[in-house]
Structure 1
Amino acid sequence: MKKFELPRFAGAVSLCLALGVPGAASATEGYFALAYGPAQRGVGGAGVAYSVDPMSAAINPANIADIGHAMTFGLEAFSPRRGFDANGAFPLPDGGADSGHEWFAIPNFGYNRPLEGGGALNVMVYGNGGMNTSYPDVANPNCAAAPGDTGIFCDGKAGVDLMQMFVSVGYGRKDGNFSWGIAPTFAAQRFAARGLNPALFGPMTTDASNFSGRGYDISTGFGLRAGLKYEISPQVTVGLAGQTRFKMTKFDKYAGLFEDGGSFDIPASISAGVTFKPRSDLALMLDYQRIFYSNIAAVGNSNTNGLFGAKGGAGFGWDDVDVFRIGAEWQQTPDMTWRAGYAYATNPIGKEDVMLGVLAPGVVEHHFSFGGAKKLNERDTFDFAINYVAPHKVKGPGMFGSDVELDMHQFSASVGWTRRF
């Protein structure tokens, strides 16, 4: 094997994607994505114990050892439809509103290269969609008591926008039936909030001047992802993967919104899975994932936990999320593969947290996936996936005994190109 050299164009593409991944909308497991490439989306995000292309390392770094020499590009057109209904929920307008900005483009890139002496190197750039909402400047008679007179929170157009981008450089190795991988990962976050009237929220925060309308702020940090995989037999493989909590720099411009003066770390998660191959042309996958949102105070603390921005103060009240996935991949012919999957994710927002959940209504639960791969020639493969997330609603009390009901459903379509060397 030739001495390893990362192609210059691969590095350039990584940089471009790192700088250009757009802020997306509320993703499907809270604000974690269902998956990070079309091959994985086609099976409902499953694959802790199964590798397909370089993006498989985003699910489990232990997959790096089985991918071979390959490069992949992907693009997802993601459309979340979210909004709320309100009945006398001061200050929200009666009848509620729907969020705009319904389509987002989310790219991904991965490169995998075997090394001399065993092992392999993997480079990936991918993103989580964030807590994105964009409510129009609607008429709101409930704002008569506030200085503003329009918008869902009496200060014109309202919403939040969170983007998370990851750049991962991983190493994986296979010894016999056992594979392992480790991937130090750099993360960057971009966040903005607007339309939250200071006259309404000022008494609820330690710093009303850094609560809303400060434009975008950037936060960076590092975390570690790692995984194991063991082939029990040619038919059965099991896997385990996880990521640490990412310690991020603070959002100084939103020191009055997030706990402890702008702290907003990325939560840890853990996944386990098994792949069963009853025939050489069929793979069946079963995965479980837990995302520890409740350990991030800005996200998990109750909104009654004192003031926003204070150490140990108020948050959005999110619970941990459990995700169960099943997926199937069937190779119909040497050139055509079909995929299908289903994922169920518990809803992180309880009825007691619907008021602030208006800003980030990530309440969906049932995810359905279909896709496939067409081999174009000996080196190139075209992947595609379609995902549908069924409508889900959560209803709870607003202020002064009123009712608020959150709702969301989603569509997405993905395409990708993989080249093997």
Structure 2
Amino acid sequence: MKKSKILGVAVGAALAMGLSSSAFATNGYQLDGIGQYQVGMGGAVVAAPGDPMTALTNPAGLADITPQVAFSAEVFNPTRRANFGFGEIGSHTNIYAVPSLGFAAPVGGGLVFGGGMYGTSGLGTNYIQGIPTAFQGSFGGANTLIASSSLQQFEFAPALAMKVNKHLSVGAALDIGYEQAAFQEQFGGARGQSGFNLSSPTSAYGIGLTLGVLYKVNPMVTLGLSYKTPQIYSPLNWQESSQFFPAAFDPKTGAVSGATGGAGEYSAHLNYPQQVAFGLAIRPIKPWLVSIEGQWINWKGTLNNFNIYGPWNGTNVVSLPTHWHNEWVFNFGTQYNVTPGFQVRAGYVYGSNPISSANTAANLIFPAIVTNAVTVGATEKMGMGWKLTEAYMHSFSNTINGGPLLNGLPVGPGYAENTSSTLSENSFGVQVGYDF
């Protein structure tokens, strides 16, 4: 069997998720919260806005907060392990930075202008592994695996909000997105490298809307609702010399059929999903806030299949079957004012896993699989309008197990292990704010 063909089978299966997306402290590849107030509240903020980062979660909240500016810097630390079929390996890149900057300012007539620039997602994997001798025959003599993915997404979101009356606020934000992506999975040996290679970083731009409503039933109860439209991105483009995408493997003859591509431009779209969030915030007593929220994220609408267009022989497109499910997310957050100048917070997040065990092999490069997270945070008012907010998040480890990488087919001596992905996450951030 030709080396490029049998290696391509593994490439196609494992890269399927890598070409989909990646993220920080995550529901799928979406942040639990943007900025440290939201992280500390476990993301339960659609009915409890607390800082200018509400422009992306519920822009109506801009009309309900003090005019202010805030800058957040977060260090995100995911721990990832994967088994490609010949032993578990950890990713070699585990530290990422997440910046956010937001503001809110009244402009007259009951209107508030706000928004900012926000890091919304951006993660990846960097697996490098020597292939044990017992498995090299199954991979055409290859002795090295290189499997990496990288995606960074940022949003600029100018927003307007209006306090219609003492009960009702409405708002809208224009979500202008920027993403940079690169992906690679190759097997190397004495005869060089073989596999899928889109490793040159490339960029794309997207646009969408976030609409929000905030309704104060009474001083104790507030309701919040937000809707984020699909964010449509321009194509990601790569100039490459050749590609191979496998379609089928015949274990009797050892023949692999699939699409090969020549030199030219390859492109893909990586859009951001539509979603709806509903929240309820209650103050049992004046210093104590309790907030709960439910979200629905339409991952299936953007990541059920991922098409790669290019100069493929006999066709202009191949499809990677990513098969993400829609996700339901529950957020809980609570805050207590210990003193007028000191607040403490805690939160919990549960999100259904958008990746099933059956799709483990197709999601090895980015295992967006965590389902439970806890958070804590605090804010200290420093005087003269300045305040400092900190938050810590821990997503508990989760593992999914699937069949062999090569679709369960016998491909050679020694290759018998099933694929698996494991992910846990930690983050710590500091936010500096100033109230006008």
* TM-score bin (small chain): 0.7 to 0.9
CA distance in 1, matches of 2:76, 2:202: 24
Greater RCO (CA < 8 Å, at least 6 residues apart): 2
User: Deviations 1:37-90 (Å, cap 9, x if unpaired)?
Assistant: 0011001011101121111222211101112310000111110001123xxxxx
Deviation string for 1:272-291 (max 9, x for gaps)?
Answer: 10101111101100001111
Aligned to 2:425: 410
Any unmatched runs of 5+ in structure 2?
Answer: 1-20, 246-265, 410-416
Larger radius of gyration between Structure 1 and Structure 2: 2
If the length of structure 2 is used for normalisation, what is the TM-score?
A: 0.80
| Structure 2 residue 286 is the aligned partner of structure 1 residue 286 | no
The Cα offsets for residues 260-309 of structure 1, whole Å up to 9 and x where unpaired, read as 9512211111111010111110110000111111001xx22399xxx9x9
Q: Residues of 2 paired with 1:213 and 1:30: CA distance?
A: 22
Change (3 A) 1:233 1:24: same
Secondary structure of 1:163 counterpart: strand
Aligned to 1:46: 44
Q: 1:196 aligns with which of 170, 178, 186?
A: 186
- For residues 181-192 of structure 1, the aligned pairs below 5 Å read 181-192=171-182
Tell me how far apart the structure 2 counterparts of residues 162 and 257 of structure 1 sit (CA, whole Å).
22
Cα 1:376/1:108, change in 2 over 3 Å: same
**Cα distance in 2 for residues equivalent to 1:300 and 1:367:** 25
1:222 aligns with 2:207: yes
Q: How does 1:115-130 map to 2 (within 5 A)?
A: 115-130=107-122
Map of 1:164 onto structure 2: 153
What letter matches 1:282 in structure 2? W
**How much has 1:412 moved relative to structure 2?**
0.7
Match of 1:253 in 2: 238
Query: Is the 2:23–2:31 Cα contact (8 Å) retained in structure 1?
Result: no
Does residue 1:397 correspond to 2:389, yes or no?
Answer: no
Question: 1:128 deviation in Å?
Answer: 2.3
Q: Does 1:114 align with 2:106?
A: yes
* Alignment-mate amino acid for residue 271 of structure 1: A
Amino acid at match of 1:247: I
Aligned residue runs from structure 1 range 90-105, under 5 A: 92-105=84-97
Percent identity for Structure 1 against Structure 2: 25
Is the CA contact 1:250–1:262 (under 8 Å) kept in the aligned structure 2?
yes
TM-score w.r.t. the length of structure 1 is 0.83
Match of 1:133 in 2: 125
Q: AA paired with 1:114? A: P
Residue 368 (structure 1) shift: 0.1
CA 325–120 in structure 1, closer or farther in 2 if over 3 Å, else same: same
1:64 match: secondary structure: helix
The offset of 1:137, in angstroms, is: 3.9
Which of 376, 386, 397 is equivalent to 1:380? 386
Whole-Å Cα distance in 1 between the matches of residues 22 and 428 of structure 2?
14
Other structure's SS at 2:55 match: helix
CA RMSD, 1 decimal: 2.6
Match of 1:150 among 143, 150, 173: 143
Residue 143 of structure 2 aligns to a residue in which SS?
coil
Which has a greater percent of helix? 1
2:226 to 222, 234, 241: 241
Residue 7 of structure 2 corresponds to: none
Q: How does 1:77-96 map to 2 (within 5 A)?
A: 77-85=75-83, 92-96=84-88
Structure 1 residues 225 and 25: CA distance shift in structure 2, 3 A: closer
Q: 1:300 aligns with which of 301, 304, 316?
A: 304
SS of the residue corresponding to residue 334 of structure 2 reads strand
Counterpart code for 2:176: F
Which structure has the highest strand share of the two? 2
The structure-2 alpha-carbon separation of the partners of 1:414 and 1:225, relative to structure 1 and needing over 3 Å to count, comes to same
